Structure 1
Amino acid sequence: MDRLLGDGELDLSFSGEINRFIGLQGAIVAQFGPTPTGGNITGSVTIRDVIAKFQFHDLLNVWIGRMIVPSDRSAFSGPWSMGPWNYPGFFEPYAPPIGPRQGPFGRNDGVTAWGKAAGGLFKYYVGAFNLHDSSVSPLYTARLNLSLLDPEPAYYQKATYLGEKSILALGVAGEVQKEGSVEPLPPPAAGEPPGTPRKDTYGEVNADLLFEKNLGTAGTITLEGAFYKYFGDFERFDHSYFALASYLTPSNIGVGKLQPLVRLQQAKPKNADSYLLIDAQLGYIIEGHAARVALGYQRSDLSGAKGNALFLGVQLQK
């Protein structure tokens, strides 16, 4: 806690239906803030989503374009629809999150076939990604989601419904990519050509569980957990996981509800001590996910490199 940093993100999204069989979705995202080499006050703008949607039946929808990779619940929820302010897996500053292989903002270019049964109590996803790069093998993904209480009919799923649904949901997923686990090589010496890395098949499997219950005048409790296992000779991590518990007050205190939350995250490198993150956060839910404030503390221990951070976040959506 020896410096003060700030960042921001603006997402502009649109979607629509051409007819009852064909739809479209798009989004752009603008960001500013700290970078590994300094600061970025001018910011950057890039494409987040570009999706053509084809609905043949509840059991078969096909989406083509740049979209969320169907992996874990956190990917479908994104930072906008979860309780914690910090997206899971961000152990190392300015590095991608430790978890399923995805892409910028959890997106990648590809195709997904998905469907639902019993109004969304059961859903499946299968996809192929990395289709923008002919030099690498496709990343194949699959996910099954079972909701035992209220259904979740949409492609996307939230990590908390803030008491609007009763949820007991289990998801299992996996990824595989031929030659996707690549040996990291040191920079070549001056005048020397770069070496040729060895490659192995990359694989990942995960499971996540969400329980959320509105207890009426007693408030809403949320329990969430996820476990990830990684395969490939050159993967840095063997496994990772997180566990979360939160409570939402039944009525407003001022203009919003209070949501205390704790989360434990751990990742095990293959050749080092474990990484550990602990978040303790107090949320103020003013208008559901549309307006909230989060104040929290994070303790980190990355194989002995320890740190502390206080964070304050403001989220607005319309």
Structure 2
Amino acid sequence: MKRIFGFFVAGLLLPSIAMAVEIYKKDDMSLNVGWWGQVWFQNISDMNMDNDDEKYDDNLNDFLIRRSYFYLDGTITPELSFFVHFASDKLGMDEITNDSDKGLGSGIAVRDAWFNYKILGDDLMVQVGRMYIPFTRNYGTTSTKAMLTLDLDWGQGGSHSGIFYPSNIGRDDSITLWGNVLEDKLQYRLMIGDGEDNNTKNPDDNVRFAGRLSYSFFDPETKWFNSETYLGTKRILAIGAGFDFEHDMVIAGKKDDYTAWTVDFTYDQPMAQGNSLTLVLSYINISHVPNAITWTQLGAGDDGDIISAKIGYYFGDKLALGNLQPYTQVQNIHSDESGDDDTMIYGFGLNYYLKGVANKISLEASFMDQDEEVPDSAIRDNTTITLQFALGF
């Protein structure tokens, strides 16, 4: 226990250290421990938002630990495995609302914790605990260690945005049936979850239903966490679809069903000299959105949609110690409500990979363009420049 506790403390307090170690192995039983983190410097121009009774009307310069993740995983039998993930997010972010129970700001929280039992090998598995909601690819199957862009999409927890659907930082306490069939080309996931835990929003204590299908035409994606970019190690052509549903949610004084569905397309093509091209497209349609999307006019209770497109090109030839991958992205967040305007987000970035997808230095500039700015609010044009160091395994 002392050895485990030592790794735990070091992983959370020393973001310059990367570790992954097998600490126990006997017959079919094993235990592994690891850590991964991100450190950011971020400059945001033309901000106008409240923080502890202060207001930023110009530039915000912010140093923060964006993520610090400590995890344990292992096997008990060939069929039974487990995963536990402790997290601290946005430590030191200037405008963060601290919530130690969720690991936001100060504090450490159990972000993921589950048992997985293979009923019919990888064809049919049951997973019980706290886990990703199997809905979108961006924040439903993709590991945050393996994103093409600097962070998650806006509206799903990226940068300063919140998450539009009910969740505990993108997770839910649930039971999920999932597996890989048709020669591992088709992955399915079906969840029954706890759903919204706010009694005011969910007065009838309804459960949520979510699910996802993804078909990979070339190399299969069979794991619980996958990558958004494979750096030339896999050839991916995947088409996915998902849904999320919770009955009779009370949002903005109106009782209605929350429903959302998505379709997405991922293409990752290895090329000559170790180069590779990555293209990711997604569309999300939302009815009776539970949570307003930060800095946009898609408010709680509205209907709307989100479109996202990303493209990156990885260079297989090293430049000094690592490999370069420039990328660009565009997102559109639209509200169906009369008179509400769209928000466009444009991003341009460069990843410098030191070892695999998890260890890299990134620089990104993103631009938020409002159809119409709202005076004395955060709904305004702004520019964000972020320098990131990500290390771990």
TM-score by length of 2: 0.72
User: Secondary structure at 2:108's aligned position in 1?
Assistant: strand
In structure 1, list runs of 5 or more residues that go unmatched.
185-196
Q: Which moved more, 1:297-306 or 1:146-155?
A: 297-306
Any conservation in 2 of the 1:109–1:132 contact (CA below 8 Å)?
no
Deviation (angstroms), 1:307 = 0.3
Q: 1:73 to 1:42 in 2, by over 3 A?
A: closer
Of residues 109, 130, 136 in structure 1, which corresponds to 2:194? 130
Deviation (angstroms), 1:86 = 2.0
Which amino acid in 2 is paired with 1:183?
I
1:317 aligns with 2:392: yes
- Residue 249 of structure 1 is matched in structure 2 by 315
Any conservation in 1 of the 2:333–2:342 contact (CA below 8 Å)?
yes
Structure (1/2) with the larger strand percentage: 1
In structure 2, list runs of 5 or more residues that go unmatched.
1-44, 46-58, 290-299, 374-379
User: Secondary structure at 2:273's aligned position in 1?
Assistant: helix
Alignment partners' CA distance in 1, 2:166 and 2:357: 24
Deviation (angstroms), 1:119 = 4.3
Deviation (angstroms), 1:238 = 1.0
User: Secondary structure at 1:250's aligned position in 2?
Assistant: coil
1:223 aligns with 2:279: yes
Deviation (angstroms), 1:35 = 5.1
Q: 1:124 to 1:38 in 2, by over 3 A?
A: closer
Q: 1:55 to 1:280 in 2, by over 3 A?
A: same
Alignment partners' CA distance in 2, 1:204 and 1:38: 27
Which amino acid in 1 is paired with 2:255?
K
- Residue 261 of structure 1 is matched in structure 2 by 327
User: Secondary structure at 1:201's aligned position in 2?
Assistant: strand
- Residue 89 of structure 1 is matched in structure 2 by 154
Q: Percent identity of the aligned residues?
A: 20
Give the alignment of 1:98-137 within 5 angstroms. Answer: 98=164, 101-130=165-194, 133=197, 135=203, 136-137=205-206
Any conservation in 2 of the 1:165–1:212 contact (CA below 8 Å)?
yes
Alignment partners' CA distance in 2, 1:257 and 1:156: 23
Which amino acid in 1 is paired with 2:147?
M
Which amino acid in 1 is paired with 2:358?
A
Alignment partners' CA distance in 2, 1:74 and 1:111: 21
The higher-RCO structure (CA 8 Å, 6+ apart) is 2
Give the alignment of 1:82-231 within 5 angstroms. Answer: 82-90=147-155, 94-98=160-164, 101-130=165-194, 133=197, 135=203, 136-180=205-249, 182-184=250-252, 197-217=253-273, 219-231=275-287
Deviation (angstroms), 1:83 = 1.0
Any conservation in 1 of the 2:266–2:278 contact (CA below 8 Å)?
yes
1:83-103 residue CA offsets vs partner (Å, 9 max, x unmatched): 1012102499754134xx252
TM-score by length of 1: 0.88
Any conservation in 1 of the 2:62–2:94 contact (CA below 8 Å)?
no
- Residue 285 of structure 1 is matched in structure 2 by 353
CA RMSD of aligned residues (A): 2.3
Alignment partners' CA distance in 1, 2:251 and 2:83: 37
Q: 1:13 to 1:119 in 2, by over 3 A?
A: farther
Any conservation in 1 of the 2:260–2:286 contact (CA below 8 Å)?
yes
- Residue 4 of structure 1 is matched in structure 2 by 61
